[in-house]
Amino acid sequence: MGLCTTTLHALDVMFPHLSALHSGWVEQLLRILHAFWHRTESAKPNGLGCHGIPAENAAIERGLDPEKWTKSNTQSMREQPDSLGLCFNWDKEVTTCLPDYYRWTQWLFVKLGLSERGRFGAVVNWDPVDQTVLADEQVDDSGCSWRSGALVEQKLLRQWLIKTTNYAKPLLDALAELPECYGVKAVQANWIGDCTGCYFDFHVNGEETGETLAGYTSSPEAVFGAAYLSIVPSHRLLHGTSPVRSALERVLQTGTDCLTEVTAHNLFTGQELPLVISSKQEFEGHLDTVIGIADRSVEDASVARALGLSWSPVLKSQEDGGHTLLNSAEVCLDTQQHTLRLTPLPRRPERKVGGHLTSTKLRDWLISRQRYWGTPIPMVHCGSCGPVAAPEEQLPITLPKLLSLTGKGASPLKHTDDWISCTCPRARWQTDTMDMFLDSSWPFERSQSDHWLPVDVYIGGKGSCCYTPVLCTLPQSLL
């Protein structure tokens, strides 16, 4: 085998966490051996994953402050790779718990597009042992927590998410440019799903309720023909503290499509649609809210007729089997393919009304955690203005010092009166912190430049593919 003489970027995104000896060191060894074999100029960015539940739990077990525990572990974690014969330039170390690092995690959080799941709560995965929310990817096939092994419960909480669904189509399209490698492309494609539909945003019973919904349709080109907006009986509007809950409960009959007095205003089309509680217990994929479009679905038309609902016709059949769009704006027919296309996409990002092509499988990335040791979420809750992102010049928002931690109950930051208060007397800082995977999904970005791209060798778990590509793709739209 001949030796490669070109520049090599061997990327390992599985860097070690400070709660214990981490297999990331072994993966680092593989990366260095690969680079040594090729005898190349090799980029070996390295770092320490310091935030998160594992580090906080380890500190609590020892009766230590997480920051002190992390700092005491740092030297030990540096000695471990040295004992394995690994070589790193620690002057270029990336440490996720340092403010000069996580200020950029906070910056990314604000820039990527946010979704607050309901002003009045959302059904989320709850770990009863670690006392925190989990993303779907952190719940195994048995319904248990990835970390504690506890059976995950469903709980209503107010949460912050990153709008990964807005970028589903670019993520999927980017896979076509990549070579196949150990089934990773298939894993990614399956995680994203077929991007054939869109979410559209709705105000429920007017803006004054503060309640919004994102309704999905697999026929976005026909969205102007919507007859109703439908939710499943397990929807959060029926189980939280929403102001429309009582109106929905009055008409709810299990197994029956129930027309309610609640309305939903489509921010894209401007239409006012009636809200229907579906007879179905669940919709396709992870969906809990769908748009009923009679011209594109026999089932939707049947429901609309049974409830006495009207709609605008949007499709006219042609002799050649194709269709012409009627009564629609910003959508048209692709005459060459005889398929309906969005030209341009019904997307008005400046108005934040939805319209991004996505799938029924991909969900927004839930990053709120009810723990202390993590990057603070740079959001202020104001009684007058609602949720407001911290200005860039105020970043980083740093963690306060706490006297003790138990790892149980509500977020510890809720009890830090001095820290939680803002200049505005009606405003309070968000007390959840970010999931540790948001910190650890982008550190290699700091080492990359035109000199090192593209990545030649990737060393790490396939699980990282659920997060890292999102932050690789999204920054292109932020520049």
Q: What's the residue count for the chain?
A: 479
Q: How many domains does the chain have?
A: 3
Residue 178 lies in a domain: no
Hey, what are 398's tokens?
Answer: 């740093």
User: What CATH number is given to the structural domain containing 457?
Assistant: 3.40.50.620
Last residue of some domain: 302, 323, 358?
Answer: 358
- State residue 5's pLDDT score: 45
- State residue 244's pLDDT score: 93
Across the range 93-114, mean pLDDT stands at 85
Last residue of some domain: 310, 340, 358?
Answer: 358
Q: Tell me the C-alpha distance between 47 and 74, whole Å.
A: 11
**Residue range(s) defining the domain that contains residue 77:** 8-96+440-477
- State residue 137's pLDDT score: 76
- State residue 262's pLDDT score: 97
Which residues does 475 contact at the CB level (< 8 Å), separation at least 6?
A: 108, 445
Confidence of residue 114 (pLDDT cuts 50, 70, 90): low
- State residue 340's pLDDT score: 39
Which tops the pLDDT comparison, 89 or 151?
151
Q: Are 248 and 198 in contact (CB under 8 A)?
A: no
Burial code of 77-115, b = ≥16 C-beta within 10 A, e = fewer? beeebeeeebebeeeebbbbbeeebbbbbbbbbbbbbbb
- State residue 269's pLDDT score: 87
Asked if residue 214 and residue 113 are part of one domain, the reply reads no
- State residue 334's pLDDT score: 42
Closest to 393 in 3D by CA, of 95, 163, 110: 110
Residue 188 lies in a domain: no
- State residue 112's pLDDT score: 77
Share of the chain above pLDDT 70, in %: 74
H-assigned helices in 39-65: 53-61
Residue 448 has pLDDT above 90, yes or no: no
Residue 4 has pLDDT above 50, yes or no: no
Which tops the pLDDT comparison, 149 or 342?
149
Which tops the pLDDT comparison, 340 or 93?
93
Residue 296 lies in a domain: yes
Asked if residue 222 and residue 349 are part of one domain, the reply reads yes
- State residue 272's pLDDT score: 96
Q: What is the pLDDT of residues 289-331, one digit of tens each?
A: 999 999 999 999 999 999 999 999 998 887 777 778 788 776 5
Asked if residue 305 and residue 211 are part of one domain, the reply reads yes
Asked if residue 277 and residue 210 are part of one domain, the reply reads yes
Residue 175 lies in a domain: no
Asked if residue 452 and residue 387 are part of one domain, the reply reads no
Asked if residue 331 and residue 394 are part of one domain, the reply reads no
- pLDDT, the chain, mean: 79
Confidence of residue 185 (pLDDT cuts 50, 70, 90): confident
- State residue 400's pLDDT score: 92
Which tops the pLDDT comparison, 93 or 343?
93
Last residue of some domain: 358, 386, 411?
Answer: 358
Asked if residue 455 and residue 421 are part of one domain, the reply reads no
User: What CATH number is given to the structural domain containing 323?
Assistant: 3.90.740.10
Asked if residue 345 and residue 266 are part of one domain, the reply reads yes
Which tops the pLDDT comparison, 423 or 298?
298
The overall longest dimension of the chain from CA atoms, in Å, is: 77
- pTM, to two decimals: 0.80
Residue 336 has pLDDT above 50, yes or no: no
Across the range 410-421, mean pLDDT stands at 85
Asked if residue 141 and residue 281 are part of one domain, the reply reads no
- State residue 169's pLDDT score: 87
Mean pLDDT comparison of 19-33, 425-439, 461-475, highest-scoring range: 425-439
Residue 131 lies in a domain: yes
Across the range 90-110, mean pLDDT stands at 86
Which residue(s) pair with 394 in the sheet?
A: none
Asked if residue 304 and residue 217 are part of one domain, the reply reads yes
- State residue 99's pLDDT score: 93
Mean pLDDT comparison of 102-116, 255-269, 385-399, highest-scoring range: 255-269
Q: Tell me the C-alpha distance between 12 and 48, whole Å.
A: 12
- State residue 1's pLDDT score: 35
- State residue 346's pLDDT score: 45
Across the range 145-173, mean pLDDT stands at 86
- State residue 339's pLDDT score: 36
167-181, 340-354, 409-423: least confident range: 340-354
Residue 137 lies in a domain: yes
Closest to 248 in 3D by CA, of 230, 227, 265: 230
Residue 170 lies in a domain: no
Confidence of residue 208 (pLDDT cuts 50, 70, 90): confident
Q: What is the pLDDT of residues 219-264, one digit of tens each?
A: 988 999 999 999 999 998 998 788 999 999 999 999 999 999 999 9
Asked if residue 123 and residue 60 are part of one domain, the reply reads no
Residue 176 lies in a domain: no
Neighbours of 414 (CB within 10 A): 13
Asked if residue 445 and residue 426 are part of one domain, the reply reads no
Q: What is the pLDDT of residues 195-205, one digit of tens each?
A: 989 899 899 99
**Nearest-10 crossing angle of helices 184-192, 168-175:** 160
Residue 398 has pLDDT above 90, yes or no: yes
Closest to 53 in 3D by CA, of 377, 371, 438, 414: 371
